[in-house]
Structure 1
Amino acid sequence: MSKSEMRNKIGERIKELRKRDHITQERFALMTGINRSYLADIERGNRNFGFDTLERIINGFGITYEEFFRDM
């Protein structure tokens, strides 16, 4: 899997979990301390991001890395 494909899958997973929990981008951005437009770009697969950002996102959902990456 290419880096671009992985970015897209991670972005899709973030959006899926956020919608599952009925959380808007704006609210999730506030919850995680991530800029909303940056979060939107991550969800679309248009932005590179670091492990620190991914950790803030996963912690924002209150799940483990294993749960986040399950079925990807």
Structure 2
Amino acid sequence: MDIRQTIGWNLRRLRVAKGLSQERLALEAGIDRSYVGRIERGLENVTVSALEALAAVLGSNVRDLFAEVDTSSSRPPPLRSGRKPKGS
């Protein structure tokens, strides 16, 4: 697994754990939603500024995005689609 895939895997893992959609994460980080999707798929050479913004929204350190991935584990599951009920 190359570093772009590692960052993407960890980004998705942290985002799903926080219950954030790609759209919400991108909005709060001030970046484009499609960029977040490309990062998660390991297609982008992500900038340091974007890593800082994403980590801040996720309440984690940038180094958490570089954590070694256990290749025997399954990809983090997607969030349930649709809007959250009001009050959640």
Root mean square deviation of aligned Cα: 1.7
Distance in 1 between residues matched to 2:57 and 2:36, nearest whole Å? 12
Q: Where in structure 2 are the equivalents of 1:6-45 lying within 5 Å?
A: 6-45=3-42
Identical positions, percent: 34
Large movers: runs of 4+ above 2 Å: none
- The count of aligned residue pairs is 68
More helix per residue: 1 or 2? 1
Distance in 2 between residues matched to 1:53 and 1:69, nearest whole Å? 12
TM-score normalised to the size of structure 2?
Answer: 0.70
Larger radius of gyration: 2
User: For structure 1, which runs of at least 5 residues remain unmatched after alignment?
Assistant: none
Specify which of 49, 60, 69 is matched with residue 57 of structure 2: 60
- Structure with more contact order per residue of length (Cα contacts < 8 Å, sep ≥ 6): 2
Specify which of 51, 55, 58 is matched with residue 48 of structure 2: 51
- 1:64 CA displacement: 2.1
